[in-house]
Chain A
């Protein structure tokens, strides 16, 4: 089974192709250029480098959120365009679970954090040790959400375990995490501390076997947050009603 995967949910743009147990190519860039300019040229580069006939892929995978709204738009719109043209399904992979997968084998809690502004992070809490020996997906202890850093660290502490934090939220909140945590904390090393499309593809392969995919038309990213206009409107209506 061949999967073309992309991730532009955070600061990194990444593209990869996997074929069964083989990572054919992965291209990850964390540079100031916008994902809109880098993502498709990166896809093209790995397609040419691996002499990939796009019609032979089985599915298009994308980090389907949470993440920066703009980044999710670029990734999901690209995934929809590729999948529609190729008549293949889209696998919208939970961004934080794919990040957790990069730390497969770690015995404590895995906590991806992405800066969500307003002193919040997009996060989730995962554990492979609790998923059982040889599990391909980690056990999810906290579903993907936007959470204040204080609240997140408190929740993590309630499990009474050590934890590794990963993601582009780490540089933003490292001091807070160290200050707040009452449990042993570590941080993922540089080659594993950001989104990688290889991990998106690996998780997508499992999800595909589980039947967890959509058509290009149906795919939409998971933003986790409503737009500001909707929030304000609901607040105003709440006041009007109460």
Chain B
């Protein structure tokens, strides 16, 4: 290891994954441990914040221990600790933030608070070591739908956000409505492969006063109305067709907004990130549209799309290099905005 190498331990607990990772120089993953709580929350059809918080508490030491041992290092060999401090669920965030502050403090390591959405974007730096800003990025997950102009490693301009439901939230709700269960993203993706995306024409919502904003509640309602209508008429619904038709509408809106932004800002690079970036229809549509426009398209591997701590360590690295440090009074900020608050 050369003298300049920077090793950062990332810690992530903003929703229902307890994760820790060691990343070298912001791009090279030495370990990436994720303890998923999906089995627990599946029983409730969605994430239960109090239960998520309690499970983070049970797992956090173990995932860190495992991340360090997989990376073959000790706490002393680290250069810093990075932790997600928002946005997310306050209880789960507080576990990670309180733990990371204490761990860093007692190890004599600097602490860097990380914005979770920034982390998702940084997953692309890990996936493709040649990627550098500026580029555009669509961050889509269960909790977030952000169209972002990445101006520099630590400078972001949010071009558009969802006005109501996050894209992944719509996937979850529709999946529940057609009886596919939780989590909705992968279930819809799988069902849609066997369905006809043109079976039902669901609306493609465009937000009038926000050029790059998104809205998914109308689409979700349209699906629910369709299902209710069919039930009242006693018609049998082909859930694969509904899944495929819903997914086609959601993907079209996401891609359309993204391509409009690419045109406006003359982007030659476009990245996607977040849990929904694992969706196969979104991936292939992005690939197709980007190649049509001669835009270089980036997408992280599935393990880096889902909530993970490698992306948090990566984001922490770029702030660390700029000399940014968080104090012991770092708090969880559930509604943390991208590109505004400083950790």
Contacts and interface: CB of A to CB of B under 8 A. Distances in A.
Interface of A: 34, 36-41, 43-44, 54, 69-70, 73-82, 84-86, 215-217, 220-221, 223, 227-230, 233
B94 A77 contact: yes
B288 interface: no
Please classify how large the interface on chain B is, using the bins under 10, 10 to 19, 20 to 34, 35 or more. Answer: 35 or more
Given A37-B329, A38-B329, A81-B103, A73 B98 contact: yes
Contacts, number: 109
B75 interface: yes
Contacts of A41: 327-329
**A76, A215, A229 — most chain B CB neighbours (10 Å):** A229
Given A217-B61, A229-B50, A85 B103 contact: yes
Contact of A80 (B50, B54, B102, B332): B102
A227 B54 contact: yes
Given A81-B102, A85-B102, A36 B97 contact: yes
A16 to B, nearest CB: 16
B67 interface: no
B107 interface: yes
A interface, over-half SS: helix
Contacts of B62: 217
B328 A230 contact: no
Given A54-B106, A81-B100, A85-B106, A229 B53 contact: no
A78 B99 contact: yes
B interface, over-half SS: helix
Nearest to B41: A229
Contacts of A84: 61, 64-65, 103
14 contacts: A40-B102, A69-B53, A69-B91, A73-B53, A77-B94, A77-B99, A80-B57, A80-B60, A80-B99, A80-B102, A81-B100, A82-B105, A84-B64, A221-B57
A216 B54 contact: no
B137 to A, nearest CB: 30
Contacts of B100: 81
B64 to A, nearest CB: 7
A221 B54 CA distance: 9
Given A78-B102, A80-B99, A82-B105, A73 B44 contact: no
A80 B64 CA distance: 11
B51 interface: yes
Given A70-B91, A84-B64, A37 B105 contact: no
B61 A80 contact: yes
A37 B331 contact: yes
B263 interface: no
**A34, A75, A227 — most chain B CB neighbours (10 Å):** A227
A74 B97 CA distance: 9
B289 to A, nearest CB: 41
